[in-house]
Amino acid sequence: MLVFAAVFLTTAYQFLKPSERLPVFSPADVNPEMVDSTVQHIGRAHKIADWSFTNQNGKKISQRDFEGKIYVADFFFCTCTTICPIMTKNLGKVQAAFRDNPEVLLLSHTVMPDIDSVPVLRKYATEKGVIDNKWHLVTGKKEDIYYLARKSYLAVKTANSSELYDMVHTENLILVDRERRIRGFYDGTKDADIDRLISDIQFLLTQK
């Protein structure tokens, strides 16, 4: 029994603990459907590009506000009734886990900026329990969001339509480290992935 218990505890620990070294993702590591063809050749040097958007409070924010932070990014729209409510609820769990840690932030980009104006984002944020300065819901020019999604976060598909910047968001949550590198992709609709995301953030917090 003692041997069995020791084996069980060791296995459980190995399963639950984060990887000793989380991978650094490049465009070559991701489904090509999610990646703009102009960046598919980039290797481990891939980083999130500079950006500037407007959040739910009408405040302009940019990568400078996230400098030196660990953050989770995703893409959504306020009137989505399928995966978005689940993703938002699960991001709420991440927010709660790091509520008092200023080193961890959340960043949600609308893929329908023509509809999701600042007042719409403000209402959504209030309804979903978003904490200002911890979780930013952002809007901006559709082409800017599109290019960032496709060329930096490697997280959305191009829609089958005639509109140049039309996007199909996915369930992906993207973990970004202090150096603006992608360290993980997680299914925002699955509890197990949210647990893994929280664990991986805790791991990154130990890395200086």
Residue 16 inside a domain? The answer is no
Spell out the alpha helix ranges (H) of 45-190: 84-97, 118-128, 142-147
pLDDT at 1 over 60: no
Structure confidence at residue 44 (pLDDT): 74
Q: What are 115's two structure tokens? A: 């509809």
Number of domains comprising the chain: 1
Residue 18 inside a domain? The answer is no
Q: Residue 133 sits in a domain of what CATH number? A: 3.40.30.10
Which pTM value belongs to this model? Answer: 0.85
Task: Provide the residue range defining the domain that includes 55.
Answer: 24-205
Residue 5 inside a domain? The answer is no
Structure confidence at residue 169 (pLDDT): 79
Name the nearest CA neighbour of 46 among 60, 58, 29.
Answer: 29
- What are the binding residues for Cu cation? 80, 84, 169
Buried b (16+ CB within 10 A) or exposed e, 134-145: bbbbbbbebeeb
Task: Determine phi and psi for 85, rounding to 5 degrees.
Answer: -60, -35
- What are the binding residues? 80, 84, 169
Q: What is the pLDDT of residues 70-117, one digit of tens each?
A: 999 999 999 999 999 999 999 999 999 999 999 999 999 999 999 999
